[in-house]
Amino acid sequence: MVNQQFTFAVHILTALAFANATMDSQKLAASVNTNPVVIRRLLLALRRAGLVATQTGKHGGTKLCKKPAEISLLDIYDAIQPRPVIAINERKPLAKCPVSCTMREIMSQVSAGAEKAVREHLRAITLQKLLRKVQRAR
């Protein structure tokens, strides 16, 4: 199975937007169907990105820092810092092979372009939109 951190993070934020209140990692974990520690690890990244704020201690938990309309999936993507969409071969090229020597540069460009395309896509989706989908589906 591949990296589900981004999906988990989107899920968490959508849940917080839907609840419009602070939630503890236990409840979030139940909604995502995973372990609270996994949630807390993700919350660390989301907190660093300024998307959420969390209270420690009794009655602690996490809440959104911004309005759902002000959070795009790109913000979440950047907070999580997933691996590149297209991996490139980082090995030592074969010196005598022109193709081998040029591939890293070529694939860097291809990879950057793919990354950009995904980012543009995610930039256009706000948490608000997802929230409305949840509300409509209810």
Partner DNA sequence: CTGAACGTAACAGAAATGATTACAGTTCCG
Partner DNA sequence: CGGAACTGTAATCATTTCTGTTACGTTCAG
Residues in touch with DNA (CB under 7 A): 1-5, 24-26, 34-38, 40-41, 43-44, 47, 54-62, 83, 87
The interface partner of residue 36, options being a second copy, DNA, none and the CB cut-off 5 to 8 Å by kind, is DNA
Give the tokens for residue 29: 């974990």
- Should residue 85 be labelled a site residue for a second copy when binding is judged by CB under 8 A? yes
- Should residue 52 be labelled a site residue for a second copy when binding is judged by CB under 8 A? no
The interface partner of residue 95, options being a second copy, DNA, none and the CB cut-off 5 to 8 Å by kind, is none
- Should residue 50 be labelled a site residue for a second copy when binding is judged by CB under 8 A? no
- Should residue 138 be labelled a site residue for a second copy when binding is judged by CB under 8 A? yes
Closest CA to 23 of 70, 47, 59, 65: 59
Enumerate binding residues for a second copy (CB under 8 A). Answer: 1-4, 6-8, 10-11, 14-15, 18, 30-34, 73, 83-94, 97-103, 105-107, 110, 113-114, 116-118, 120-122, 125, 130, 133-135, 137-138
